[in-house]
Amino acid sequence: MARSKSYIATPPGATIKEQLNDRSMSQKEFAARMDMSEKHISKLINGEVQLTPDCAVRLEMVLGVPAKFWNSLESRYREKLVKVEAENAMEQDEAIARQLPYGEMAKYGWIPATRNIKEKVINLRKYFGVVELPLLENNQITKIVCRRLAITAKGDLALIAWAQRAKIIARNMNTEPINVRGLINKLDEIRNMTLMPPQQFCPRLKKLLSECGIALVFLPHLKGSFLHGATFMDGNKIVLGLTARGSDADRFWFSLFHEFGHIILGHIGNIDGTTDQDENAADEWSRDKLIPAVAFNKFKENQVFSLDNVSAFAKSVGIAPGIVVGRLQNERKIQYNMLNELKEHYAITM
């Protein structure tokens, strides 16, 4: 028997059991009379196997109840079972839908706006391409590698929603076959873009990455996702998404190179996602690729981090000075309110 708030699905086996009880007939004897195994009869009574037309005819012979009665019972049971399962699934989906940032997603035009919870569930199922929202827990569906500030249950759902939007956009973007070696060869050119305004480097950056099989997507930040960027495989391309969370250039470039790190270090495509070790490795790779470790360590030895010194060092290593400031702040060499005038603020076009 299966239940939901509105429906009860009772298998024909319950009626068979009543008939056996009325006759004081054991399941073993009944199985022999039906010429079926005791295991199959047990599953039939418990509703674990379907009552077939052949079985209905046998029941008519053994119990004297017309086959059409048993066929009708089976048909009604299966219909009610679908309704029970659908209603129970809807309840689970509604709970998940309430945790997703539906309002924000609708505001950005990702899904239709509605206040009806059942309509939200249907829209979200279509958006994610799943028959039930609990399937979003399946790592085979997500496979996301990302840079985040915190991890929460609600934040995980916001992250999955954000990544799905990146995936949808990326599917309409043309890319060459994946070429990680090609990406490595283009890193110096990409690093030089830190000295350009976004209206100049964004088109070029997207083109360079597309030549390496990478679809670069810019998306607005979803509250609660604590997300900077994410990378994942989708079909025959790599999707690299970046949020507009924080408009500081240093955050943008560190997040971008962090995702490059995941790609080059082979972290994407892992079913179980990334480990803390993977994230730390990508962080270290990004730091050293943007600012060479030897040069930065030598610069720090002077312990003089004035505007002129920082600007001169940034020029000597060919990087935007704001990135050096962000690194110094992150390593607590200077306060977070110091030298921010060297930081650029980007307005990235989505």
Nearest CA to 44 among 64, 23, 68, 19?
A: 19
Q: What percent of the chain has pLDDT over 90?
A: 71
Per-residue pLDDT at 142: 64
Helix, strand or coil, per DSSP, at residue 334: coil
Contact 106, 127 (CB under 8 A): no
Per-residue pLDDT at 151: 45
For the chain, the farthest-separated pair of C-alpha atoms sits apart, in whole angstroms, at 100
Contact 209, 215 (CB under 8 A): yes
Per-residue pLDDT at 283: 93
Per-residue pLDDT at 246: 55
Query: How much helix, strand and coil, in percent to the nearest 5, is found in the chain?
Result: 60, 10, 30
Banded pLDDT at 146 (limits 50, 70, 90) = low
Structural domains of the chain in order of their starting residue, each with its CATH number: 2-90 (1.10.260.40), 100-137 (no CATH), 142-342 (no CATH)
Beta strands in 236-286 (DSSP E): 237-243
| pLDDT higher than threshold 80 for residue 272 | no
Per-residue pLDDT at 149: 45
Least confident of 48-57, 99-108, 179-188, 242-251: 242-251
- Average model confidence (pLDDT) for the chain? 90
Banded pLDDT at 148 (limits 50, 70, 90) = very low
Per-residue pLDDT at 89: 84
Per-residue pLDDT at 244: 64
207-249 pLDDT, tens digit per residue, is 999 999 999 999 888 886 666 788 888 889 999 998 865 568 8
Contact 14, 2 (CB under 8 A): no
More confident site: 65 or 141: 65
Per-residue pLDDT at 158: 86
Per-residue pLDDT at 154: 66
42-57 pLDDT, tens digit per residue, is 999 999 999 999 999 9
Nearest CA to 283 among 271, 296, 274?
A: 274
Residue type, 160: I
Contact 59, 44 (CB under 8 A): no
- Angle, helices 67-99 vs 53-63, to 10°: value is 130
| pLDDT higher than threshold 80 for residue 273 | no
334-345 pLDDT, tens digit per residue, is 999 999 999 988
More confident site: 284 or 224: 284
Helix, strand or coil, per DSSP, at residue 217: strand
More confident site: 124 or 268: 124
| pLDDT higher than threshold 60 for residue 152 | no
Contact 225, 162 (CB under 8 A): yes
Mean pLDDT value across residues 166-175 = 94
